[in-house]
Amino acid sequence: MAIAFLGSPPFAVESLRALLEAGADVALVVTQPDKPAGRGNQLKAPAVKEFALAHGLRVEQPWKVRDGTLAGWLRGLDLAVVAAYGRILVPEVLAAPRLGCVNVHASLLPRWRGASPIARSIAAGDRETGVCLMQMDAGLDTGPELARVVVPIADDDTTPTLEAKLAAAGGALVAGALPDLLAGRLTPVPQPQAGVTLAPLLSKADAVIDWRRPARELHAHIRAMTPWPTATTQVPEPAEVWKVFADDLAVGSHAGEPGRILALDGDAAWVACGDGSLRITRLQRPDKRAMTAGEVLRGARLGVGDRLG
C-alpha cells in the first residue's frame, strides 16, 4: 500500500526512517520549501528533504496547501503520515488519501495541543510526556487517538534532548502501528474533553526569567527555552539583557531577595528565587560570546549582593 509522508524538521526524520526500515512503500514525501538560514541567508533544505533525497524518494515542496495541488498528489494513495510538517491541512487534503491522514504528535493528548508541545511540557514541570498517533481532523490536534507511548521527562532534559527521545519513540510507534492501521484494525478513540492545554509557538517574550518564581520552576523554564529562544534576564546596571543557559543548573535552599546574587561557587553563581535559589553556570552578554557566570559577572563588575532581573 502506497503512503505519503509529510514532515519537515529532524523530529520528523525518525518517523520517516522507521517507516522505510519497516518496509513501507513511501511513494511521496512532502516538506516545507527551502528557507534562508545563517548569516549569508543561503537556502537550507529541511532535514526531511535531505533524508528523503538520500534515500531516492520523490520530494515535493509546495508553497500552498489550499490550491488543490497537494490534495491531488495524495489522491490514489492509501494513507498520509504527518509528523511536524508545519502547515495546517485543509479538509480537502485530509480526505484525499483512502485512509485519510494520521499525525505523530509529541505529547499525551489532549495535553499540549499545538506547535511547541515539547518545550511547553518541560516548562510546566511535567514528569512525563509521550507521542500520540491520531487520526487527523480539521481541528488543532483534536482528532481521535489511535495509539500512544509514554516517555518520562528527566530532571536534566532540555528541549533538544527530550525531542530526540520523542522522535525515536514516535518512529517506533508509527512503524509498529502501520500494519494494523492499513488493515483497519485500529479503533480511533475520541480525546477526552477534560485536560485540554495548548502549546503555542514560543516567542522571545516567553524567554524572560521572573526571579520571583520558585527555583524549581525556573530550572524547568531555562531548560525548556534551550536552544531557542534561550532564557533571558535583565540586568539593571549595566542596563543589558543577558542570556542564561541550562548547563549544570542546580536548585538550592539559599534564601534572599529574588534576583539577588547570593554566593559565588567557583565560576558559578547562586541567585535567589521566590522559593530557594538557582545555580547558574553560563551567561552571555549582548554581542559577546557565552562564558562562565563568574567571567561574565567579573566583566560587568557585578558580584555577591548585586541583583539580576
pLDDT at 237 > cutoff 90: no
CB 231 within 8 A of CB 204: no
What's the confidence (pLDDT) of residue 41?
84
Band of residue 38 on the pLDDT scale cut at 50, 70, 90? confident
Residue 100: closest CA among 85, 78, 68, 83: 78
Say if residue 85 is exposed, middle or buried (CB neighbours under 10 Å; 0-12, 13-18, 19+): buried
Inform me whether the pLDDT recorded for 282 exceeds 90. Answer: yes
- CA dist., res. 54 & res. 76, Å (int): 25
- What is the pTM (predicted TM-score) of this model? 0.95
Q: Is residue 296's pLDDT more than 90?
A: yes
> What pLDDT does residue 141 have?
97
Question: What angle do helix axes 47-54 and 10-21 make, rounded to 10 degrees?
Answer: 30
> Measured between alpha carbons, how far is 161 from 91 in angstroms, rounded to an integer?
34
Q: Is the pLDDT of residue 211 over 90?
A: yes
Question: Is residue 187 exposed (0-12), middle (13-18) or buried (19+ Cβ within 10 Å)?
Answer: exposed
Stretch 18-46: mean pLDDT: 94
Checking if the pLDDT of 50 tops 90, the result is: yes
The pLDDT value recorded for residue 239 is: 94
Burial grade of 92 (CB within 10 A; 0-12, 13-18, 19 or more): middle
C-alpha cell at 205: 517574550
For 130, phi and psi rounded to 5 degrees?
Answer: 170, -165
Q: Which pLDDT band holds residue 37 (cuts at 50, 70, 90)?
A: confident
CB 128 within 8 A of CB 108: yes
Span 241-268, mean pLDDT?
Answer: 96
- Percent above pLDDT 70 for the chain: 100
- pLDDT-derived band at 39, boundaries 50, 70, 90: confident
- In the predicted model, is pLDDT for residue 108 greater than 90? yes
- The amino acid at residue 304 is V
Q: Mean pLDDT throughout 168-178?
A: 98
Residue bearing the bigger pLDDT, 40 or 35: 35
For residues 163 and 254, the model is more confident at 163
On average, the pLDDT of the chain sits at: 96
